[in-house]
């Protein structure tokens, strides 16, 4: 691999890891709300969570840009108050990756929480456990296979994210150029076929390893629970 390719691969791994890990606590909280709590606006929350799956990624990236751009109120406040900027930075790529992978994470975790036997939670409640303690000691441990599956699905989605990323943070080599955006560059080069094949193979390997790891973790948790 060339230096540019190595940089793009490492940046993609960094962006995907940060994006998935940073969004995990929010995904767990939202999944629990949707799975276990009945409240006004629940359907609206469900729709909002899944919007990135059906919206064109470019639209998601543009919405992020008008929210977190340096000249926008929220973006300007973050930069002025904390010296922190998302637009045209690798942190923005991580944010875009987190937003695009969030629905997959929530869905996997929600299904896992819904599969937990409510009678176990009810038994803990009759012993005086609070809802938070029930979640921490009963629901979450039993839902861990789904949590890890969601985390890895979010990571895998982030590796392949293109539309929202290039709209929000552009395609700056060494700063925001990820594996997906570099592949796009090579496809536009008449002599870029070898690089495209090489980078595509790397992307496939990362995705296969991530998905195989997700399945392996789920099987391991199921085996230990027996």
CATH class in words for 3-225: mainly alpha
DSSP character string of 91-113: HHHHHHHHHHHHHHHHHHHHHHH
**What is the Cα–Cα distance from 125 to 120, expressed in whole angstroms?**
9
Which of 141, 111, 104 is closest to 24 using CA atoms? Answer: 104
pLDDT of 101 higher than 70: yes
Residues with Cβ within 8 Å of residue 66, at least 6 apart in sequence:
72
**What is the Cα–Cα distance from 106 to 149, expressed in whole angstroms?**
10
**What is the Cα–Cα distance from 221 to 111, expressed in whole angstroms?**
15
Question: With pLDDT > 70 as the criterion, what percentage of the chain qualifies?
Answer: 95
Q: Residues 131, 132, 137, CA angle at the centre, nearest 5°?
A: 100
pLDDT at 39: 87
Cα 14 to Cα 91, 143, 154, 174, 190, distances in angstroms: 10, 26, 13, 12, 30
Which residue in this structure is represented by tokens 């994006």? 19
pLDDT at 81: 80
pLDDT at 18: 94
Segments making up each domain of the chain, as ranges: 3-225
For residue range 15-55, list pLDDT tens digits in order: 999 999 999 999 999 999 999 988 898 899 999 999 998 99
Q: Is 77 helix (H, G, I), strand (E, B) or coil?
A: helix
- Banded pLDDT at 58 (limits 50, 70, 90): very high
**What is the Cα–Cα distance from 170 to 96, expressed in whole angstroms?**
12
Structure tokens at 102: 């969030």
pLDDT at 211: 78
Residues with Cβ within 8 Å of residue 43, at least 6 apart in sequence:
none
Burial class (CB in 10 A: 0-12, 13-18, 19+), 129: middle
- Banded pLDDT at 223 (limits 50, 70, 90): low
If you average pLDDT over residues 60-86, what whole number do you get? 84
pLDDT at 31: 95
pLDDT at 149: 86
For residue range 175-221, list pLDDT tens digits in order: 889 999 999 989 988 888 999 999 999 999 988 888 787 777 666 66
Report the mean per-residue pLDDT for the chain. 88
**What is the Cα–Cα distance from 167 to 165, expressed in whole angstroms?**
5
pLDDT of 226 higher than 90: no
pLDDT at 207: 84
pLDDT of 77 higher than 80: yes
């Amino acid at each position: 691999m060339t230096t540019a390719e190595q940089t793009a691969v490492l940046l993609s791994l960094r962006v995907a890891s940060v994006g998935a890990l940073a969004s995990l606590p929010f995904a767990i909280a939202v999944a629990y709300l949707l799975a276990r709590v009945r409240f006004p606006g629940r359907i609206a929350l469900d729709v909002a969570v899944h919007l990135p799956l059906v919206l064109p990624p470019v639209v998601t990236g543009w919405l992020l840009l008008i929210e977190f751009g340096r000249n926008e109120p929220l973006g300007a406040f973050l930069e002025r108050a904390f010296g922190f900027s998302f637009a045209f930075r690798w942190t923005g790529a991580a944010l875009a990756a987190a937003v695009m992978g969030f629905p997959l994470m929530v869905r996997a975790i929600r299904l896992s929480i819904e599969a937990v036997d409510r009678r176990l939670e009810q038994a803990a409640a009759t012993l005086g456990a609070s809802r938070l303690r029930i979640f921490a000691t009963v629901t979450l441990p039993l839902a861990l296979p789904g949590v890890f599956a969601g985390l890895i699905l979010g990571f895998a989605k982030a590796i392949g994210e293109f539309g929202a990323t290039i709209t929000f943070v552009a395609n700056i080599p060494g700063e925001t150029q990820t594996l997906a955006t570099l592949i796009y560059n090579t496809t536009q080069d008449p002599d870029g076929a070898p690089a495209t094949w090489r980078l595509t193979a790397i992307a496939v390997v990362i995705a296969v390893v991530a998905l195989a790891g997700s399945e392996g973790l789920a099987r391991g948790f199921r085996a230990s629970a027996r």
